[in-house]
């Protein structure tokens, strides 16, 4: 096999780029030439690229962040036919024969396809190929199939179809996507990515990326000063008792307080009247209002109507896990403070914190 040009567009997130490049060299025995187009990254990425210059056929350092359109610089600078385009946060699978051999074989055996990419771990599909749009997940593209500038993955797939070819992805070739955790690990990257796309959309240079907005909404925010003030007395009591916050269950009739400050705590918002599902040995409640139910009754107390904020926290000697009646089981959700607490009027089970089933 002749050497295949692989083009990766990078921007910040140096650890992802390092992992992507390392996996390529470890899991690709066939010859390839790696081109990096860097979208105006900071010193961490630029220094690493300089220190590892011998690993790359070329490094194209851009002065501004051109987003996906930066792929065109790599396409123009390379010569192999076909060529491969990839994001900087993907790990190729460890296969024998390798992912590159299998991808090239698919393209050779399906001359009606002008673009074939990978799926991501978790994607499912039947047959050798699934026809449709595919992201920049190691897209292998015939040069004569793409005669328009690369601006967006979906537009590239359509351009390939306009040339009389088909586009799709191989369900047996799945890359691991490191970027799934960006809203938590790299919130600034998500925000910047949305800002770049928004400017391009405003200039009618690009159509929106709806999933970018979903990533932006998933970024957790820090607690507000009001939430900190409401939670402070209970937090102080919990700390004095040396109770881990993963062992705290908060009942809240307005917005949760402790769970808004500590992700480890579990909150149930507007719980129904009845017995709190605590086992023997649980500690009594610590409440942020003057009403303090006794631990012997262990019933959901009702808030004072005169208070703007009211919550009650129970603690156990170990993290909460299992034994939740349906109406009490926490579920993933987003309140005004962007924290994952539950509402008792929902019976949808799910994850509230890492300590929950």
| DSSP label at residue 167 | E
Helix (H, G, I), strand (E, B) or coil at 247: helix
- In Å, what is the CA distance from 20 to each residue of 13, 34, 218, 284? 11, 11, 24, 50
| DSSP label at residue 200 | H
Sort strands 166-177 and 266-269 into parallel, antiparallel or unpaired: unpaired
pLDDT at 202: 77
Contacts of 149 (CB under 8 A, 6+ apart): 69, 72
Please, what are the averages of pLDDT over each run of 10 residues along the chain (357 residues)?
94 95 98 97 96 98 93 98 97 97 98 97 90 96 97 94 98 93 76 74 70 63 82 88 84 81 81 65 51 36 40 50 39 36 33 26
pLDDT at 210: 64
**CA atoms of 270 and 252, how far apart (whole Å):** 6
**CA atoms of 118 and 180, how far apart (whole Å):** 16
Helix (H) or strand (E) holding 335: none
**CA atoms of 182 and 211, how far apart (whole Å):** 13
What residues does 166 pair with on adjacent strands?
Answer: 113
**CA atoms of 98 and 66, how far apart (whole Å):** 32
Torsion of CA 269, 275, 277, 283, to 10 degrees: 90
pLDDT at 348: 30
- Which domains are present in the chain? 4-181 (3.90.550.10), 225-343 (no CATH)
Whether pTM exceeds 0.75: no
Helices and strands counted in the chain (H then E): 10, 14
**CA atoms of 138 and 235, how far apart (whole Å):** 49
Long-range contacts of 225-229 (CB under 8 A, 24+ apart): 226/309, 227/255, 227/257, 227/260, 227/261, 227/337, 228/261
Residue (of 87, 69, 107, 66) closest to 24 by Cα position? 87
pLDDT at 286: 54
Torsion of CA 256, 258, 262, 267, to 10 degrees: -50
Asked whether the beta carbons of 254 and 308 are under 8 A apart, the reply is yes
Report, in angstroms and rounded to the nearest whole number, the Rg of the chain calculated over CA atoms.
Answer: 26
Q: E strands of the chain, at which residues?
A: 4-10, 32-39, 58-62, 83-86, 90-91, 113-120, 130-131, 139-141, 166-177, 248-252, 266-269, 286-287, 311-315, 342-343
């Amino acid at each position: 096999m002749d050497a295949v040009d692989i083009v990766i567009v990078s921007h910040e997130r140096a650890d992802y780029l390092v992992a992507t490049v390392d996996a390529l060299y470890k899991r690709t025995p066939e010859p390839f030439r790696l081109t990096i187009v860097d979208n105006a990254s900071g010193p961490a990425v630029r220094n690493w690229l300089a220190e590892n210059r011998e690993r790359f056929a070329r490094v194209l350092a851009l002065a501004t962040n051109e987003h996906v359109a930066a792929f065109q610089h790599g396409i123009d600078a390379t010569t192999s036919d076909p060529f491969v385009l990839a994001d900087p946060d993907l790990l190729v699978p460890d296969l024998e024969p390798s992912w590159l051999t299998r991808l090239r074989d698919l393209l050779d055996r399906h001359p009606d396809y002008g673009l074939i990419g990978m799926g991501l771990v978790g994607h499912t599909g039947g047959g050798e190929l699934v026809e449709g749009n595919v992201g920049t997940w190691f897209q292998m593209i015939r040069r004569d199939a793409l005669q328009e500038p690369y601006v967006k993955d979906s537009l590239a797939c359509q351009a390939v179809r306009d040339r009389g070819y088909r586009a799709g992805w191989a369900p047996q070739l799945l890359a691991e996507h490191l970027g799934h955790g960006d809203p938590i690990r790299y919130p600034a990257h998500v925000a910047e990515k949305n800002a770049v796309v928004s400017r391009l959309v405003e200039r009618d240079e690009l159509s929106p990326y709806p999933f970018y907005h979903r990533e932006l909404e998933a970024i957790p925010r820090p607690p507000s000063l009001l939430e900190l003030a409401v939670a402070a007395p209970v937090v102080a009591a919990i700390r004095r008792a040396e109770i881990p916050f993963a062992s705290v269950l908060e009942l809240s009739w307005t917005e949760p307080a402790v769970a808004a400050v500590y992700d480890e705590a579990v909150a149930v918002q507007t719980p129904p009247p009845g017995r709190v599902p605590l086992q023997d040995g649980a500690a009594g409640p610590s409440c942020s209002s003057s009403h303090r139910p006794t631990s012997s009754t262990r019933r959901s107390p009702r808030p004072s109507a005169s208070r703007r904020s009211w919550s009650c926290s129970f603690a156990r000697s170990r993290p909460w896990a299992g034994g939740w009646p349906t109406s009490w089981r926490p579920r993933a959700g987003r309140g005004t403070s962007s924290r994952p607490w539950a509402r008792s009027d929902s019976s949808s089970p799910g994850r509230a914190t890492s300590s929950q089933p």
